[in-house]
Structure 1
């Protein structure tokens, strides 16, 4: 009986420790997404580079794909200017050193100086590299038309 109780106590502590760790990872990812949002609005080249992996694949809803250098340059130069950005309905799923973040994005933008409002679904893939979460991939998609 003592061994059973000791085993249950150890299992309970292990589950609590795992839950705490998962909650911390989720909080870290929420902070990274918030920092990415701010860096995109501010056009902050250094922050965009620090948040993204050199292997970044950045997919647009229209099918264009950029690497890290092209993504950073387009935002930092103002060629693609996020004036506002609202992220809603965010979910985070972590598996080892990989995390999937989904959200809906509504933003006021100026592409080439032309104002527009966009509403897209976004999938972000984050990878833990050297102990830090880095954006590895991003894919935007258009929502189907409402009937």
Structure 2
């Protein structure tokens, strides 16, 4: 399996774990110094994001990772693409339609997600 295929599989595993609020899987996948920036510009570190996901502050109903362009260089992988879906945030329904940038780094012999950045796509 190529590194690009490996990263694509990790992204799919992450997508499913977010839908299932599988904190154990995400905790393993996320680097300890994760920076997760939502489309409303709120930035969270790993512990806070996982805490809020476990508490259903974020309740992902549908999540699609589309048009992913994966580039690997050394011990870093950069993914640019789109994310669509539906999420309930603190009781408020929200439709997702964003451009995303994700950075994975190889640490201690395995890939971990280091950064997520989401930028909303304006409605036409």
TM-score of the superposed pair, with normalisation by structure 2: 0.94
Identify which of structures 1 and 2 has the higher relative contact order when contacts are C-alpha pairs closer than 8 Å and 6+ apart. 2
Alignment pair present for 1:143 and 2:121: yes
Asked if the contact 1:43/1:77 (under 8 Å) is kept, the reply is no
Partner residue, 2:42: 64
- Which of 66, 70, 74 is the aligned partner of 1:88? 66
Q: CA deviation at 1:113?
A: 2.1
Residues paired across the two proteins, number: 124
Q: CA deviation at 1:44?
A: 0.7
Q: Deviations over 1:114-142 (max 9, x none)?
A: 22211011100000011111000010001
Distance of aligned partners of 1:27 and 1:42 in 2 relative to their CA distance in 1, 3 Å threshold: same
Q: CA deviation at 1:40?
A: 0.5
Q: Deviations over 1:63-118 (max 9, x none)?
A: 11100101111212211110110111111011100010112111111111222211
Partner residue, 1:75: 53
Partner residue, 1:10: none
Asked if the contact 1:97/1:127 (under 8 Å) is kept, the reply is yes
Partner residue, 1:30: 8
Runs of 4+ in 1 over 4 A off after TM superposition: none
Partner residue, 1:125: 103
Q: 2: CA distance between counterparts of 1:144 and 1:117? A: 12
Structure with greater helix percent: 1
Q: 2: CA distance between counterparts of 1:122 and 1:75? A: 19
Unpaired segments of 5 or more residues in structure 1? 1-22
Larger C-alpha radius of gyration, 1 or 2? 1
Unpaired segments of 5 or more residues in structure 2? none
Q: CA deviation at 1:144?
A: 4.1
Partner residue, 1:48: 26
